[in-house]
Amino acid sequence: MLEVAADGRVVDVVVVGAGISGLVTAHRLKCAGWQVQVLDANAQPGGVIGSIAHQGCLYERGPNSALDTTPLIGELVDALGLRAQWRQASDSSNKRYVLRGGVLMALPTSPGAFFSTPLFSTSAKLALLREPFVPRCPAGAEESIAAFVRRRLGSEFLDYAIDPFVAGIYAGDPEQISVPAAFPKLHALEQRWGSLIKGQILGARERRKLKEEAKNTAKSFSFAGGMQVLTDALAAAVGPVALGTRVTRLERDAQGVFTLHAETAGQPTRWRARAVVLATPTDTAANLLREHVGDAADALDAIAYAPVATVATAYPRAGIAHALDGFGCLVPRCEGRKVLGILFSSSMFEGRAGPGTALLTTFVGGLRQPQLPGLPEDEIGALVQAEHQALLGASQAPIFQHVTRWPRAIPQYTLGHLGRVARAEAAGQVLPGLFFCANWKGGVSVGDCIKNGHLGADAVTAHLRTRG
Ligand SMILES: Cc1cc2nc3c(=O)[nH]c(=O)nc-3n(C[C@H](O)[C@H](O)[C@H](O)COP(=O)(O)OP(=O)(O)OC[C@H]3O[C@@H](n4cnc5c(N)ncnc54)[C@H](O)[C@@H]3O)c2cc1C
């Protein structure tokens, strides 16, 4: 692990952070022919991605699946030789439930189903007819997703479609999440076409040209061994990753060479590179920048995170009344429950639980109830079981339950977020050769991190080429 420091070798790029963002960036840089060293504080690569096999089940501590939104994902899967392990979510998982009045109702997936669903009232449905005539938000104005949806679609869609959806992605508060920052395509759709409905229909042609899939039609995927298969393969391809290596300080000399000071197993280590990519959460990036660019550090510190606990629970299948015929269910805030949503993990992908066993993944906390992930694990487990009983008719004791707490699970793209990101990125002007690539910019989903890893790597390549 000390090899780089010991021989004083300067590599082309050091990537700090071996989550999906850092690993994809490093992989693309390596494929472009650069010498890359990845460092991570954890004992294993993957960041929040972690798949665990236990008692015949395979559960995820972080993301359960990703959406196949860009051809870059398929290219990466093929480049890593993972095609045989690639798994698309079952057809039945197109069905997603939303809780209304204590009852799980399927989200409509076709215009016919939309008009007959009891999930939305007749007046809410009719209000959609006026959507094409609602004026655009003035260009340059920033709206929260709650204000945007209320204005264009009405408050019932906010409560029963968008609020649970925002909870599902950001574990966040729709009144605070910024449309241009968190939903740039929605923002662009309104700005370009003046209407979401018109834009959805007319924009489809453009997406086809770009070979991109809209998030509402893209298929969910994982791997036979879970999401960690992807990060393990990436880590092997860019490796060896220096694990257990916590970077504590960053310097740049007059020749433009960076030195990163770190601790590896309690010992100080040093890593030198011509360019550095910070692929870490904002707290690490802020700490490393504070002595160089105080304003960038302040901007990073102002990005809030939502805490989440994920709870994997295995039950005897016969002990759950619900058909579990879908992806899972989302829970709107106005329903007053203690969970954000429940994934029917063993229905989504084959082989996630043995015969006669059902595996559920439940999300607790978020900005809705930020105190819950801090409770003792047995209390979190008990409240989740009570919710399973109320919502799914789970009547037997779990076979096992495992709680993972993420005190800083998901960065919040709140109003003013794009300005904070721009202030953070201005650090690259003071420290040329410094780049950021992590889920606090450009999207939090695994697919967005993959896309941004490519873009980030290309920016580093352009920098290294100009420096010769
Ligand atoms: C519970 C949960 C469920 C999710 N579900 C989904 C889902 O179903 N689908 C989806 O698309 N997305 C999902 N997401 C979002 C997505 O998984 C994440 O946004 C993405 O994986 C983050 O990747 P990253 O590489 O940017 O950051 P991280 O995974 O956080 O990686 C950052 C890395 O930086 C390292 N690091 C930090 N400080 C230092 C330091 N000082 N020195 C060295 N290393 C350091 C950390 O150890 C870590 O490995 C979920 C996220 C969570 C938390």
Same domain, residue pair 287 and 252: yes
Please identify which residue in the block is written with the tokens 């994997």.
312
Lowest-pLDDT range of 136-145, 221-230, 304-313: 136-145
Task: Find the 120 Cα to ligand 1 centroid distance in Å.
Answer: 35
Q: Is the CB of 362 under 6 A from ligand 1?
A: no
- Over residues 212-221, mean pLDDT: 75
For 370-406, write each residue's pLDDT tens digit.
Answer: 999 999 999 999 999 999 999 999 999 999 999 999 9
Same domain, residue pair 289 and 326: no
Task: Read off the CATH number of the domain in which 388 is found.
Answer: 3.90.660.20
Q: Is residue 249 part of a domain?
A: yes
Sign of the dihedral through C-alpha 278, 279, 284, 285: positive
Q: Is residue 203 part of a domain?
A: yes
| 128 DSSP assignment | G
| Nearest Cα residue to 404 out of 444, 437, 364 | 364
Which pLDDT score is estimated for 351? 95
Q: Is residue 160 part of a domain?
A: yes
| Nearest Cα residue to 179 out of 159, 162, 193 | 162
Same domain, residue pair 289 and 425: yes
- Ligand 1: residue whose CA is nearest its atom 33: 17
User: Would you give the distance in Å from CA 434 to the centre of its chain?
Assistant: 23
Kindly state the tokens that stand for 278. Answer: 């910070």
Q: Is residue 433 part of a domain?
A: yes
Of the pLDDT bands very low, low, confident and very high (cuts 50, 70, 90), residue 423 is very high
Q: Which of 160, 181, 210 is the last residue of a domain?
A: 210
Which pLDDT score is estimated for 200? 80
Q: Is the CB of 308 under 6 A from ligand 1?
A: yes
pTM comes to 0.95
Same domain, residue pair 34 and 109: no
Expressed as residue numbers, the domain containing 340 is 90-119+305-411
Q: CA dihedral in degrees (156, 158, 162, 164; nearest 10)? A: -70
Q: Which of 379, 411, 443 is the last residue of a domain?
A: 411
| Rounded distance between C-alpha atoms, residue 78 and residue 76, angstroms | 5
Same domain, residue pair 323 and 373: yes
For residue 152, is pLDDT > 50?
A: yes
Same domain, residue pair 149 and 238: no
Kindly state the tokens that stand for 409. Answer: 């699970």
For residue 62, is pLDDT > 70?
A: yes
Contact indicator for 333, 163 with CB cutoff of 8 Å = yes
For residue 226, is pLDDT > 70?
A: yes
Which pLDDT score is estimated for 180? 95
Same domain, residue pair 426 and 292: yes
Task: Read off the CATH number of the domain in which 190 is found.
Answer: 1.10.3110.10
For residue 161, is pLDDT > 60?
A: yes
For 254-281, write each residue's pLDDT tens digit.
Answer: 999 999 999 998 899 999 999 999 999 9
Angle, CA 341 vertex, CA 186 and CA 118 arms, to 5°: 75
- Over residues 422-426, mean pLDDT: 98
Q: Are strands 103-106 and 328-330 parallel, antiparallel or unpaired?
A: unpaired
Same domain, residue pair 239 and 316: no
Task: Find the 446 Cα to ligand 1 centroid distance in Å.
Answer: 9
Same domain, residue pair 298 and 233: yes
Q: Is residue 62 part of a domain?
A: no
Domain count, the chain: 3
Which pLDDT score is estimated for 213? 63
| Rounded distance between C-alpha atoms, residue 260 and residue 33, angstroms | 22
